[in-house]
């Protein structure tokens, strides 16, 4: 049911004008949709209960979402309920639909509350929609007893009341208290004030460290080239094919190409590495551990 182009008032007015279904008619429409996939029956069933969807959507306006969007999500939940409703269970459709409508609206609100996902588990979802209400009630009860609860005590009471871990309460309290800000916003009203993004620490390597690393890599590359040049042509070929290719070749394939046994290729490879190790140690003892 597309709702684009309709105002809140128009949607509410149309919903209020829809027919009221008695139990027998509702059951007949539900069977027609389930058994015969009668789209007219589905449309009539959904339209009759749009007033329920709009009424539930209105309860979530305090979360800042546009009412038209809330109604859209409520209608989606209503249609899911109609599609999954089993009339053989002997319950009214409105009783069954309430859960689907509420779940659809709550998922939408949580998706759009912040660019940072607010919660994903059932306990976090329960906290999101109940924390402030529970906190207000606990504060009223403490005031009636003449008690003054600090923030830690209040968090513990909320965690016990809702049945969630204390760290979930602490996390949700921070999420609900804050809002999203652009990192490109300035820190002051001054036009020349620096942006918040400029205060973030650069997690990349510092320039001096990068220069030193590049120099070390160049030096090591020169040492390796010198060590390779100290090998004969066959040894260089084996080292190149075994260690410098993206997909190293096997001893057997090299043996077939060179006319040698696999064991002989392994011996030549070991001898070549021994020569390179000596050449590298002669240039720097520090590189020995790296090469080994």
pLDDT tens by residue, the chain, 292 residues: 444 444 556 666 777 777 888 999 999 999 999 999 999 999 999 999 999 999 999 888 877 788 888 899 999 999 999 999 999 998 999 999 999 998 888 888 877 765 444 455 666 677 777 777 888 888 888 888 888 888 888 888 888 888 888 888 877 776 666 554 555 556 555 556 566 556 555 555 566 677 777 777 887 788 788 888 888 999 989 988 888 888 888 999 999 988 999 899 899 999 988 888 888 777 766 544 444 4
Assign domain 8-113 to its CATH architecture.
Up-down Bundle (1.20)
* Six-digit token string for 20: 């009221």
Residues 6+ apart with CB under 8 A from 114: 175, 179, 180
The domain segmentation of the chain, as residue ranges, is 8-113, 122-177, 207-291
SS3 call for 195: strand
Assign domain 207-291 to its CATH architecture.
Orthogonal Bundle (1.10)
* Six-digit token string for 3: 């709702």
Cβ–Cβ under 8 Å, residues 118 and 175: yes
Q: Long-range contact list for 273-278, CB < 8 A, 24+ apart? A: 273/239, 275/227, 275/230, 275/231, 275/235, 276/224, 276/227, 276/228, 276/230, 276/231, 276/239
């Amino acid at each position: 049911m597309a709702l684009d182009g309709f105002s809140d008032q128009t949607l509410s007015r149309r919903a209020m004008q829809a027919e009221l279904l008695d139990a027998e008619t509702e059951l007949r429409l539900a069977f027609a949709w389930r058994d015969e996939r009668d789209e007219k029956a589905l449309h009539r069933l959904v339209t009759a209960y749009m007033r329920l969807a709009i009424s539930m959507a209105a309860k979530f306006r305090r979360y800042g979402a546009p009412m038209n969007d809330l109604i859209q999500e409520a209608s989606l939940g209503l249609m899911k309920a109609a599609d999954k409703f089993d009339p053989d269970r002997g319950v009214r459709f409105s009783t069954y639909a309430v859960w689907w409508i509420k779940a659809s609206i709550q998922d939408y609100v949580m998706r759009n509350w912040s660019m940072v996902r607010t919660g994903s588990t059932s306990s976090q979802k329960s906290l999101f929609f109940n924390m402030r209400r529970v906190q207000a009630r606990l504060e009223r009860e403490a005031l009636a007893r003449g008690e003054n609860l600090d923030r830690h005590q209040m968090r513990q009471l909320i965690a016990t009341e809702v049945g969630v871990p204390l760290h979930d309460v602490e996390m949700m309290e921070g999420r609900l208290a804050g809002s999203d800000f652009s990192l490109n916003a300035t820190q002051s009203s001054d036009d020349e004030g620096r942006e918040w993004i400029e205060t973030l620490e650069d997690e990349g390597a510092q320039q001096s460290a990068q220069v030193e690393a590049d120099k070390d890599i160049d030096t090591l590359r020169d040492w390796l080239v010198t060590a390779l040049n100290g090998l004969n042509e066959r040894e260089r070929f084996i080292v190149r094919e075994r260690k410098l290719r993206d997909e190293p070749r096997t001893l057997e394939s090299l043996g077939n190409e060179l006319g040698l046994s696999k064991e002989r290729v392994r011996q030549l490879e070991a001898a070549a590495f021994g020569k390179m190790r000596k050449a590298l140690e002669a240039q720097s003892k520090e590189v020995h551990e790296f090469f080994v």
